[in-house]
Amino acid sequence: MIDASTVDWLSEYLEHLRVERGLAHNTLDAYARDLRELATWLSDRGRTLASADTDVVARYLGALGERGLGARSQARHLSAVRGLFRFVRAQRYIEHDPTELLDRPRARARLPTVLSRDEVERLLAAPDLNNPAGLRDAAMLYTMYASGLRVSELVGLELEGLSRAEGLVRVRGKGDKERLVPIGDVASELVERYLHDVRPQWASAREQAIFVTPRGTRMTRQAFWKIVRRHALTAGIARAISPHKLRHSFATHLLEGGADLRAVQEMLGHSDIATTQVYTHVLTDRLQAVHRRYHPRG
């Protein structure tokens, strides 16, 4: 049974949140559930809010993890608990805040979703090269997969940044930093065809963007997202596809082929190689899945 002082402190704190902080009803209910769960856990172990120390609160958070709660849910619990202890300390009900030295639980970084090589081939083959929009779409898809550009970088490419002889594009990335990225022979040929056959019929005289719409204006990120999704459906790819997944696939497939991590970092425009290293985790996960599936003792 939860002791009387804990019940009183919880009620006083929740009233403080309602009146002084003006929290919404649903938010108050969530706080109340989390804090009553803590109070019950303490009571089951012969503890109260007054006797809880840092080790006890840490063990409570650990118990949440053992129950299967993720780092975000644990962090939400900790936020509620920390607020409660700060309040009761401010009221001088306790001398020390046991949550003061506790770190926020860290969520494991989500691994990028990657298209298989077969899915990429089907997506690239989906546009109809015999009509102007299809040729432009193919040029954009090939360029993105061949270079690993961010979608904002792709739609931001300008004519003066294209080096046709070398098969390079000058990209303006995050932090306004510029880099040169190779796009390969196939993408270069499609871009050349598009620039020769389609763009002159569409682009306004002042427009400098490489990729434009039939109205003569530069392509937007939102419009290209719709293009990717439409061609993915044509290619029979049922799962959600976004332009960024082509960037992830570019990096992963390069590393699978033996590319140097530093070179991939340069092409992606990552300032920190730790950001690029997430793709090595993708490879590890895929290798483990293959091992589990095919090895007789997997």
For residue 133, give Cα distances in angstroms to 71, 72, 199, 213, 224: 45, 43, 10, 8, 12
For the record, the structure tokens of 297 come out as 């003792």
Q: Catalytic residue among 47, 77, 150, 245, which? A: 150
pLDDT of amino acid 186:
94
Structure tokens at 280: 């090595």
Task: Answer yes or no: 164 catalytic.
Answer: no
Count of Cβ atoms closer than 10 Å to residue 86 Cβ: 14
Q: Is 281 a catalytic residue?
A: no
Residue 112 is predicted with a pLDDT of: 73
The position carrying tokens 């990429």 is: 120
Instruction: Note if 60 is an active site residue.
Output: no
Which residue of the set 136, 245, 247, 248 is catalytic? 247
Of the candidates 174, 177, 221, 262, the residue annotated as catalytic is 174
- What are the residue boundaries of the structural domains of the chain, listed by start? 4-90, 117-294
215 pLDDT higher than 90 = yes
Q: b/e per residue, 164-193, with b = 16+ CB within 10 A? A: eeebbbebbbeeeeeeebebeeebbebbee
To the query of whether residue 174 is one of the catalytic residues in this protein, the response is: yes
CATH number of 4-90: 1.10.150
Is 279 a known active-site residue? yes
pLDDT digits (tens, 9 = 90+) for 78-98: 888 899 999 989 998 888 888
Catalytic residue, from 60, 142, 194, 279: name it: 279
pLDDT, tens digit, 9 for 90 and up, residues 128-166 = 999 999 999 999 999 999 999 999 999 999 999 999 888
Is pTM beyond 0.95? Reply is no
Residue tagged active-site, from 76, 170, 193, 270: 270
What pLDDT, on a 0 to 100 scale, did the predictor assign at position 283? 58
CB distance 63 to 73 below 8 Å:
no
Let me know if 194 is a catalytic residue: no
The CATH code that applies to domain 117-294 is: 1.10.443.10
